[in-house]
Structure formats: C-alpha cells, structure tokens
C-alpha cells in the first residue's frame, strides 16, 4: 500500500509542477519538491518493508540486527515524511503570503496537494507503527 500511495503522490506533485503557469515563483517548485520528498521517504519505507517481508531467516543475531535496522528505518522515514511535507506546506503558504494572498494554482488544486501530502504522512506513520509491532525483535 505504501508503494502505491507514494507513486501516486509523486505523480500528483509532478503534475502540479507542470500545471503551474509561466512566471511562477521558483520557491513554489521548491515547496513541491519538499512534498515529493515526503512521498519519496514513504517509497523508501515501502521498499524496506518488501525487503523485510522477503528475507529468509539466517542466524538469530543477524536477523535481530536486520529487523532492528528496518524498524529504525521505518521511524526515520516517517519523521522524514513529516518534516518534508511540513516544510513544503510552509513554503507554499509563504509564497501565497508574498503574492498578496494568491497562489500560482487555484485553491482547489492546492487543497488536493495538501491532502496528498497529509495522506503520505499518515500512511508513513501507520506503516511505521505496524512494522515496528510486526517485526520480531530478535
């Protein structure tokens, strides 16, 4: 699930970058890049989950190190998604404040962007919590 959500989010943010009119403030694209960074962190977390799921058991000490690393990575990716999407939101809102309250895209489109960013953070958090509980401690 996290892989599909992250890929959809990346496609949405790339589409928003192409939908912005000519002459858009460069920091608007920077804010979209931060949104994409949150989706990328969710993608990396999903890849880690796939590796953990497909791992064949070896020695108990190596297994505990591996699964401990995956649990730590999942929390790090959730925090990365939280920070990246938060910074992206602040940058996009700052662009609106500097332009007299208007943004390069319509309000409805930005609501979609903020919703997708929120979904990536929620999905990363749920994935992190579930994987920390499901992976064995060693």
Residues 2-14: b if buried by 16+ CB within 10 A, e if exposed? beebbeebbebbe
Comparing CA positions, the residue from 61, 57, 39 lying closest to residue 127 is: 39
Task: Look up the pTM and report it.
Answer: 0.81
Place of tokens 């892989």: 3
pLDDT at 83: 94
In angstroms, rounded to a whole number, what is the distance separating the alpha carbons of residues 51 and 138?
17
Low pLDDT (below 70) residues in the chain: 97-101, 136-138
């Amino acid at each position: 699930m996290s892989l599909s959500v992250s890929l959809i989010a990346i496609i949405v943010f790339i589409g928003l970058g192409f939908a912005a009119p000519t002459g858009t403030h460069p920091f608007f694209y920077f804010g979209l890049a931060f949104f994409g960074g949150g989706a990328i962190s969710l993608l990396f977390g999903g890849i880690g989950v796939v590796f953990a799921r497909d791992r064949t058991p070896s020695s108990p000490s190596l297994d505990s190190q591996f699964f401990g690393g995956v649990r730590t990575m999942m929390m790090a990716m959730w925090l990365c998604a939280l920070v990246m999407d938060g910074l992206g939101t602040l940058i996009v809102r700052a662009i609106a404040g500097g332009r007299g309250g208007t943004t390069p895209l319509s309000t409805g489109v930005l609501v979609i962007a903020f919703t997708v960013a929120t979904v990536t953070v929620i999905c990363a958090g749920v994935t992190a919590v579930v994987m920390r509980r499901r992976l064995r401690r060693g």
